[in-house]
Structure 1
């Protein structure tokens, strides 16, 4: 082989190698661009997910929306906002104020001991009953049961004062009142199960719809605000015409305390 041919072959080999390197460089560049582009898309996608999560987290919750909903007042209430719940004969001169939270275990104990006597006294015209509903246990123990039960009580009150009293008694009953840390009242199905034990509410389509639709949710929240402004710090609390009565543990103690308050 001549020196000329040898040099030509070497030159051709170098050119071929150069071309291959350029091709490989282009492939590497394209791959890097794809990787960078993919990373940018992934970052943007992640940013979108995070942004969506932040927006959702800042959306008002169910009860925050309920607080701004139109106020629907139950029947059998008084006052411009429907927060005055007074049950009893108009001629009764005294008024027993009762402050309760539906999830409160002490309220359940009081109702189981003296609730029936309260109803008898009210029916007899011994005094009127004014009810104040609280929801502070939802904040203490976490949950929604106090608010949801108070809304359902509004639905019962819309049926009749007697339905309200009977439903309240059922909610506090030994068989159906849950432990304070168990938020059973947050479930509409459970509230309706309790209502099935009350003749006026069992199979009552209007009551059922009001519970499931949350018709009186705003009313329940406003009632809770009124309780918070009352100065009462615990439940159950009893007052006779504004004067506090020590909470009795039995029906007999209740009657003695009430008679003393009425005499005073």
Structure 2
């Protein structure tokens, strides 16, 4: 082989080696770019996943979410946000306002002793009653039984005012009402068990569905937002117009439950007679408090809801 051919062969070999190195460098660059791209996508995906998880974690849940849901108001309600539960003879000229919390033991004691007398006054047309239901015990004791029971009461009210009153009476009864520290009414199954004692609600599929789905949860949150209305922050409380009615205290002495109930009933009747005058049957009770109370469509004189 001549020196020229030998030199040409070496030159060609070096070109091939150089070209191969260039190709290899291009492959390495592409591989690195691909790895970086995949890594970036992975990081973005993880970041997106973390962001989504954080976003989901910060989304309101349960009763907080109910505040943002569209309101479905029960039938037989009125006023702003449909939070007026006004029950009684439309011809009754007076309105007694009753403030209660379903988990409240004092409310249960009142309902068990004097509830029937209140219902009789409503039936006799002595006055209408506006119920304002609170849920502050959920905050004090923890839980959600007051709110859940109120939502179920909304479902009962949607059936009829009579169903509402009977269901509320059953919820406060000695048979069912739990210790306020026991959040029993947070369970839909417990509420439906109580409702089975109310003829209008027993085997009522629409009512059961509303309880299970929380149809009136948003309405419940609107109702409980009235906490402090007319300055009322404890239950049970009774008002006639902007006047808070006060019952005599029951003496602190040992007595049976029957004796307690008898005294409590006497005190309730005394308070009502003093404010509305002695009961005289249908249309009675205009008494000394004439003109007080709110009526359908009347603006709350205190400026409250």
TM-score by length of 2: 0.68
Distance 1:173 1:226 in 2: 25
What does the per-residue CA deviation read over 1:78-111, in whole Å, with 9 as the maximum and x for residues that have no partner?
A: 1242111110001111111000011101100010
- Is the 1:78–1:84 Cα contact (8 Å) retained in structure 2? yes
Alpha-carbon shift at residue 47 of structure 1 (Å): 9.5
* 3-state SS in 2 of match to 1:250: helix
Aligned residue number for residue 89 of structure 1: 89
Aligned residue number for residue 179 of structure 1: 179
Aligned residue number for residue 252 of structure 1: 266
* 3-state SS in 2 of match to 1:176: coil
- Is the 1:176–1:194 Cα contact (8 Å) retained in structure 2? yes
Distance 1:192 1:159 in 2: 15
- 1:234 paired with 2:234, answer yes
Distance 1:237 1:150 in 2: 17
Alpha-carbon shift at residue 240 of structure 1 (Å): 1.9
Distance 1:173 1:207 in 2: 21
- Is the 2:100–2:133 Cα contact (8 Å) retained in structure 1? yes
Higher helix share: 1
Distance 1:61 1:230 in 2: 30
Aligned residue number for residue 202 of structure 1: 202
- Is the 2:97–2:130 Cα contact (8 Å) retained in structure 1? yes
Distance 2:81 2:64 in 1: 19
- How many residues are aligned here? 222
Distance 1:51 1:181 in 2: 38
Aligned residue number for residue 73 of structure 1: 73
Structure 1 residues 229 and 124 mapped into 2: Cα distance closer, same or farther (>3 Å)?
closer
> 1:132-211, aligned counterparts within 5 Å?
132-211=132-211
Alpha-carbon shift at residue 52 of structure 1 (Å): 7.5
Alpha-carbon shift at residue 185 of structure 1 (Å): 0.7
Alpha-carbon shift at residue 230 of structure 1 (Å): 3.4
Alpha-carbon shift at residue 54 of structure 1 (Å): 4.8
Task: Structure 1 unaligned segments of length 5 or more: list them.
Answer: 1-43
- Is the 1:97–1:242 Cα contact (8 Å) retained in structure 2? no
* 3-state SS in 1 of match to 2:230: coil
* 3-state SS in 1 of match to 2:131: strand
> 1:22-37, aligned counterparts within 5 Å?
none
Distance 2:183 2:50 in 1: 31
Structure 1 residues 76 and 253 mapped into 2: Cα distance closer, same or farther (>3 Å)?
same
Alignment RMSD: 2.2
* 3-state SS in 1 of match to 2:81: coil
